Structure 1
Amino acid sequence: MDEYFLEPTQQAGAQLFSRGLTGEVVMLNLLRFKDIADYAAHPEIAPEAAISGKAAFQKYIDHAQPFLKSSGGELMFMGTGGPFFIGPDHEQWDLVMLVKQRSLADFMAFASNPEYLAGLGHRTAALQDSRLLPIVQSKDGNIE
């Protein structure tokens, strides 16, 4: 049975904060879209006609960008994915993004902003599966 990941768990949140991250945090996003977006959980923001998961995710990006920028964040990279060169054959990602935030606290402020959350349903409608890996830059090029 396939297992899909769309939202963080309480355990994942606790682990993230226990890392004691300081300074900038970059979020590595791996995203797989549904063929047709499913707005069943968010009919209040559903478009009049059916759209693709990719189109729904673009609606999410358009909605989220102003809140990301105002919180000090930046969409550093967005690119088309595909099958792994090294990795499992069964995993394929449609989109890869790197999102930088000044700090974990700034990321959490962004992610909990009620105005931002009002458009989060576009993301939920769009995605079949996702991964989100918070990363911090190594100091002086050394493995820590």
Structure 2
Amino acid sequence: MTDAFIDPDRAQFEAFKALDRDLPIDMLNLVRLRDLAAYPDGHDLAGKGLTGADAYARYGAESGPVFARVGGRIVWRGEFQTTLIGPGDERWDHCFVARYPSAHAFLQMVTDPDYRQAVVHRQAAVLTSRLIRCATAEAGEVFG
């Protein structure tokens, strides 16, 4: 895996903000963790030997209350097994869908001061990720 995707770039974030902010959204999260967390120099946990899993657990513990406060919830979680179609070198340590009552709620979360402190753990933990915004749609029994 060659490309690290940890935070959105400016164009991606602007495209996200340009979409309807009032409707519920589902965020597909695919996360691959580092073997060892990479905290920035000067951070209290830099060089302490934490794994990516340790750092991601800290991110979850610290960001979870903010996620709940904005009305977010995990609506699906699965354990990665294999890729049938797609890059063969991709594997994911966490696969889940987070539902937000609106894009406003997601934006409220990512700008919350407590979340902004917690996100350093995510940045230290993640080797690469995919965060894909989807409009919530009704499930059915056929494709398409």
TM range (shorter): 0.7 to 0.9
Give the match for residue 64 of structure 1.
63
Match of 1:93 in 2: 92
User: What is the TM-score normalised by the length of structure 1?
Assistant: 0.87
2:126 is aligned to: 127
The alignment's C-alpha RMSD in Å is 2.5
CA distance in 2, matches of 1:122, 1:112: 16
Deviations 1:64-112 (A, max 9, x none): 1111111111122333324312222121111112111100011100110
Give the match's secondary structure for 1:118.
Answer: helix
Q: Percent identity?
A: 25
After superposition, the Cα gap between the structure-2 partners of 1:14 and 1:62, relative to the gap in structure 1 and judged at 3 Å, is same
2:43 aligned with 1:79: no
Structure 2 distance, partners of 1:54, 1:15, is: 30
Equivalent-residue separation in structure 1 for 2:129 and 2:5 (angstroms):
6
Number of equivalences: 143
Output the amino acid matched with 1:127.
V
Structure 2 stretches of 5 or more lacking a match? none
- Give TM-score, length-normalised by structure 2: 0.87
Q: For 1:46-65, list aligned pairs within 5 A.
A: 46=45, 49-65=48-64
Q: What one-letter code is carried by the residue in structure 1 that aligns with 2:34?
A: K
Distance, in Å, in 1 between the alignment partners of 2:137 and 2:76 is 19
Q: Which runs of 5+ in 1 are unaligned?
A: none
Moved more, 124-133 or 8-17: 8-17
Corresponding residue number in structure 2 for 1:110 = 109
1:83·1:93 contact (CA, 8 Å) conserved in 2? no
2:89 and 2:139 mapped to 1: Cα distance? 36
